[in-house]
Amino acid sequence: MTHDLESSRRARDADAPSSESRRGFLKLAALTGAMVSTTGTRALADGDIGFFAKDLSDEKLTGMYRTILRIRWHERTQADEMLTNPDYRGYNHFYAGQEAVATGVCAALRNGGPFDQIDMVYSSHRPSGHAIAKGVDIPKMVAEMDFRSTGMNGGYGAGMHISDPTVGFIGADGMIGPAPVIASGSAFSFRARGSDQVAVVFAGDGNYAAPHFHSTLNNSKLLDLPLIYVCENNLYHQYAHYSYSCPHKDIAEAAAAYGIPTEIVDGQDVVQVYNAAKEAVDRARAGGGPTFIEAKTYRDYNHWGAPGAKAGELGAFGYDPLAITSFRPEREVRAWMQRDPVDIARKILIDWGVLDDAGATTIEEEVKAEIAAAFEWGLSQPLCTPEDGLKHVFATGTVPARQFG
Ligand SMILES: Cc1ncc(C[n+]2csc(CCOP(=O)(O)OP(=O)(O)O)c2C)c(N)n1
Ligand SMILES: [Mg+2]
């Protein structure tokens, strides 16, 4: 091996230009490098934050920061409702900690316009971040999650079945496994119709062990579908570390085996996520087929609801009584919370001169007020009634379900 490297180095040196022409060669190489970076076709050197996000307008970058904050304050407010309000019926698998993933990906998508032109997002059982980043009406989502009849889905969807096709948020999915297959079906239809739309699926590390993961990647590669598979590797599925069910350290290795371009990103850094997503979207729109993005991330709360959390504070610590296999060490949770996606986005925007500290704080205050108003409106909406229970189905009668009045 060493010998091979040595001989190839000698061969390369023999071909190298002389020192005078080498300077010219280096100048040319530098110029070419500059051209490559200004055309924005690839990220800069390893460890650099990449080109695409640097090219964004201040307005777009500020919008991404606002989206991260909206998700964060939605989650925190909902957790507080669950902890303090006995009349609150809603629940969620909280997305706090992972905000930069949904925000960075959706910022690279087409989210507005006619239904047959916008990009489609398929979500999971942890959907509120994806929904907000795709642009759903937040007050209506709040109402929906509390089973209100004027909610986004008439109170029928609640936490795990929200959807809003008008912005391309095709919806949450309570089952672990199928969403990537359904998303690849959308991607197939885009290709069949000759549309340049892109389908995105967000799925956790837990999806690796489902057969759908493998058939989706295989088929989307065979058919060159415009599909972006975003694997949110937050290290755990429910209470089990992903190493219990996956032999790879990077799940992206498994996607690479299907011949799919892969990108591993720091899921706490919205700029890194955006850069990877933009490259994937450009590839898909141009007919270049699927991309697999693995975002390394972490959730601040426990798997479901707010056990271990305190009202008014971010995060959940200590033993989750629902845990059956393992639990997350408190030091691990605190270490990840040191790399908070809100703080990272704020710092980048201030470093880049997009915002100053006061401007960033003003946005945060505006978002807190917006989310407070969303909850005030959502939780004042009429509840579903037993008569609503069997609407839109063939059966008649009422449903004496516990969530009614
Ligand atoms: C088919 C199926 N099996 C089991 C479950 C129960 N379940 C809900 S969430 C979850 C773990 C999901 O983990 P992951 O995909 O890593 O997503 P995360 O919760 O970390 O966001 C499981 C097993 C389910 N919803 N569907
Ligand atoms: Mg997980």
What tens digit of pLDDT does each residue of 355-396 get? 999 999 999 999 999 999 999 999 999 998 887 878 888 887
Does 221 fall in a domain?
A: yes
Can you tell me the distance from the alpha carbon of 275 to that of 109, in angstroms, rounded to the nearest whole number?
Answer: 12
- For 202, the 3-state DSSP assignment is strand
> Ligand 2 mean position to 223 CA, how many Å?
28
Asked whether residue 163 is assigned to any structural domain, the reply reads yes
Find the 72 Cα to ligand 2 centroid distance in Å: 18
So what's the pLDDT on residue 405? 54
pLDDT-flagged residues of the chain (< 70): 1-50, 325, 401-405
**Entry pTM:** 0.88
Give the number of the ligand closest to the Cα of residue 207.
1
Q: Is residue 68 part of a domain?
A: yes
Question: Separation of 238 CA from ligand 2 center, angstroms?
Answer: 7
Phi, psi of 187 (to 5 degrees): -60, -40
Ligand closest to 102 (CA) is: 1
User: Does residue 226 fall inside a structural domain?
Assistant: yes
Residue 395 lies in a domain: no
> What per-residue confidence (pLDDT) applies to 342?
98
Looking at the structure of the chain, the number of domains it has is 1
pLDDT for residue 9 = 38
Per-residue confidence (pLDDT) for residue 395, from 0 to 100: 81
> Domain of 244: which CATH number?
3.40.50.970
What does the pLDDT read at residue 253? 98
Flag whether 174 is in a domain: yes
Of ligand 1's atoms, which has the minimum distance to the CA of residue 233?
Answer: 16
**Domain carrying residue 297:** 56-390
Q: What is the pLDDT of residue 386?
A: 80
- Which phi and psi angles does 202 have, rounded to 5°? -100, 125
* Ligand 1 contact, 290 CB (< 6 A): no
State in Å: Cα 238 to ligand 1 middle: 6
User: What secondary structure letter does DSSP report for 115?
Assistant: T
Is the distance from CB of 204 to CB of 296 less than 8 angstroms?
no
The confidence score (pLDDT) of residue 12 equals: 35
175 lines ligand 1 (CB under 6 A): yes
Protein residue closest via CA to atom 2 of ligand 1: 176
Kindly state whether residue 149 falls inside one of the protein's structural domains: yes
CB environment 333-368: b (16+ within 10 A), e (fewer):
beebbebbbbebbbebbeeeebbeeeebeebbeebb
- Report which ligand 1 atom has the smallest distance to the Cα of 175: 26
**Does residue 192 lie in a domain region?**
yes
Beta-sheet strand order (sheet of 169-171): 169-171, 120-122, 199-204, 227-233, 291-296, 262-266
- Phi and psi dihedrals of 236, rounded to 5? -130, 145
Residue of the CA atom closest to atom 4 of ligand 1: 176
CA 140 / ligand 1 centre spacing (Å): 26
